[in-house]
Chain A
Amino acid sequence: MKAAVVVFPGSNRERDVLRALTLSGSEASTVWHAETVLPEGVDLVVLPGGFSYGDYLRSGAIAARAPIMAAVRRHAQRGGLLLGICNGFQILTEAGLLPGALMRNAGLTFVCREVKLAVERADTPFTAHYQAGQVIRCPVAHHDGNYFADTATLDRLEGEGQVVFRYAEGTNPNGSARDIAGICSANRKVLGLMPHPENLVEEIAGGTDGRPMFESLAAA
C-alpha cells in the first residue's frame, strides 16, 4: 500500500498518521497542499487531523478548495482510497466528497476524550481487520464534530450501509445525528471519521484499538 498524507497549513496529526501507516506496513509520504499532483502510484490519500487554515470561515472550508484537492478528487473518481480523519472528514464534506456537514458540537465545547466506537461494517478496505459489531476504544479531539445531514440523506446512508462507525455505549461526544462517527462513499473507497484511530496504535500510547484500520489498509 502506497499512501500520501496531505499537509495543509494548520494540519497537526500528519506525523501520527504517517507513523500508524508505516508501523502497519504501508509506505507513506507527505504532500504539501499547494502541489497539484499526487506522487506516482499512490493507492491511498489521507487528509489528516488538525486545524487547516485556523478553521477560518468553516472548519475544512478553505482546505477543501486547496490546489491539491483537484488531484485528490480525480484520485477518488478513479476509485482510489481516500481517508479523512477529523479535520480531514470536515474537508471531505466541504469538498462534497462525502455527504452532510460537521457542525459545532452540541455542547459548544471542544471535546478531548476517549469514546467507544461500534464498527458497523467490516466489509470496507478500512475496516476489514475488525469484526462487524465490534466495539473499540478511540480518542476524539474536536470542536466541530456534530454530524448533520437531512433526514433523507441519513436514511439513504443507513439504507446503503454507509455508516461505518457509530458512537457506542452513550459516548456520543458532540450531538451527531444517529450517533454517526464515520461514513463512507457508496463504493466504500472514501471514508471520513471524527475519532482518531491513528492515536491508538501502540501499547506505549495507551492501546492498539486503532491499529486494525491501518493493517486493513496495508492489506487492501
Chain B
Amino acid sequence: MKARVVVTLKSGVLDPQGKAIEGALAALGFSGVEAARQGRVIDLDLTETDPAAAKARVAEMCEKLLANTVIESYAIEVA
C-alpha cells in the first residue's frame, strides 16, 4: 500500500522559507495571504497490506528519521 507523510514545522518555529514565499506572493500581487509555511511530502510504497500496521510502521519511521520532532510535526495518510 501507499503512505504519504507530510512534515511541517511546528507552530512557533520561525520558517524563513515560508516568509520568503509570503513576500514573493505579495510581490506578484496575490493579496490576502496572511501566512505561508513550507513543508515536505514523502511518498512511500510499502509491502504491508494492513492499514493500521502500515501507519504504525510509518510513524516509527517519522520518529526515527523522516521528521525532526524538535522542530517538525508529521501527518500520515495511508491508502
Contacts and interface: CB of A to CB of B under 8 A. Distances in A.
Interface stretch (A5-13, A22-30, A98-106, A124-132): A98-106
A153 to B, nearest CB: 9
Contacts of A62: 65
Contacts of B16: 103-108, 146, 175
Q: Is the interface of A mostly helix, strand, loop or mixed?
A: loop
A99 B16 CA distance: 21
Nearest to B66: A57
How many residues of A sit at the interface, in one of the four size bands? 20 to 34
Most A-side CB within 10 Å, residue of B64, B65, B66, B70: B70
A65 B64 contact: yes
B65 A148 contact: no
Contacts of A58: 68
Interface residues of B, number: 12
A149 B68 CA distance: 12
A30 B54 CA distance: 40
A65 B68 CA distance: 12
Contacts of B20: 108
A61 to B, nearest CB: 7
Interface of B: 12-14, 16-17, 20, 64-66, 68, 70-71
21 contacts: A57-B65, A62-B65, A93-B70, A101-B68, A101-B70, A103-B13, A103-B16, A103-B71, A104-B16, A104-B17, A105-B16, A108-B16, A108-B17, A108-B20, A146-B14, A148-B13, A148-B71, A149-B70, A150-B12, A175-B14, A175-B16
Given A103-B71, A107-B16, 13 more contacts: A61-B65, A101-B68, A101-B70, A101-B71, A103-B13, A103-B16, A104-B17, A106-B14, A108-B20, A146-B16, A148-B13, A148-B70, A175-B14
